[in-house]
Amino acid sequence: MEFREIVTFMEVAQLKSFSRAAEKLGYSQAAVTIQIKHLEQELGARLFDRIGKQVTLTHQGLVFTEHAGRLITDMARARTALSEPSELSGRLCIGTIESICATIFPDLLKEYHRLYPRVSVSIVTGSPDKLLDMMNCNALDIVYFLDKKMYDPKWVKALEVPDRVIFVTSADSPLANASISLEEMIRQPLILTEKDASYRLLLEQHLASLELDIHPFLEIGNTEFIVRLLRDNQGVSFLPEFTVRQDIENGRLVPVHVPGFTMRIWKQIVYHKDKWVSREMEAFLLLAAQSEPHG
């Protein structure tokens, strides 16, 4: 049994395709087929079912993925221990939601690049569900997202920090520093994030429990654009406090108090429990924790 055969097996298992695995690894499809057949002979077990163009793991194949994943992780650790460069220079793939990317990441990544200029960082934005699916397929190293507290036995949680979600408007708005009911609030000209944003979903679920509905005059996924509209006195929005904290502190925006209504959400960083934590990942996780007000 050769180590490269184990690597090939894991690629086929993740991509569910001999041809895509061959393309990713730089082999011919025939070479991938031969490696898998040899591995099956060595193990005395059929690892994949091939029906037409469908490639799926057998029960034995599923069992072997756990052992193969540990072998690959152990080999990566051994290689790192034996040839660790003094300066970080690898690649880091991070998934995050748009509001975090627009507000937290500029300063965080600026500092990360200052400390580790040779690390190549790739950022993917999307909904938490999409990003977590990508992480579970090993397409992302880390996911930094905002949602209610979420747990999964496949994850390691590296950060969990609470924050409030608030109604906010321009300091020049008639609603500035006002106190209005939730029923009155949802009749205001609301600018909201798209429906797949976690805090938008939580708001709609709360309203549904009160048999209320919301009809924003504008929906857009770009938090930065929403904040610009608020500064120009265009409506009210419902945003995580960290996204508007600086504007509130400098007096451009103000919270709108809704008696009896509070919503808390959590900034969370997770990675897969079977993921080899590279020094690049470790450095990012440490810096992200330190960048939090109480980190």
Q: Give the model confidence (pLDDT) of 43-72 as tens digits.
A: 999 999 988 778 899 999 999 998 888 888
- Residue where a domain terminates, one of 47, 82, 117: 82
186 with 221, same domain? yes
CATH of the domain at 139: 3.40.190.10
Number of domains making up the chain: 3
179 with 35, same domain? no
Give the residue ranges of the chain where pLDDT is below 50.
Answer: 295
Indicate the helix (H) or strand (E) that contains 214. Answer: none
149 with 134, same domain? yes
- What are the C-alpha distances in Å from 30 to residues 22, 26, 40, 61, 124? 9, 12, 15, 20, 33
Q: pLDDT tens-digit profile of 140-168?
A: 999 999 999 999 999 999 999 999 999 99
Q: Which tokens is 23 given? A: 């393309």
Amino acid in position 103: T
- Is the four-CA dihedral 272, 274, 275, 276 of positive or negative sign? positive
* Structural domain containing residue 232: 162-264
Indicate the helix (H) or strand (E) that contains 121. Answer: strand 120-125
107 with 40, same domain? no
CA 261 – CA 257 distance, rounded (Å)? 8
**10 close to 76: Cβ distance less than 8 angstroms:** no
CA 199 – CA 223 distance, rounded (Å)? 12
**108 close to 291: Cβ distance less than 8 angstroms:** yes
- Residue where a domain terminates, one of 52, 82, 112: 82
166 with 258, same domain? yes
145 with 270, same domain? yes
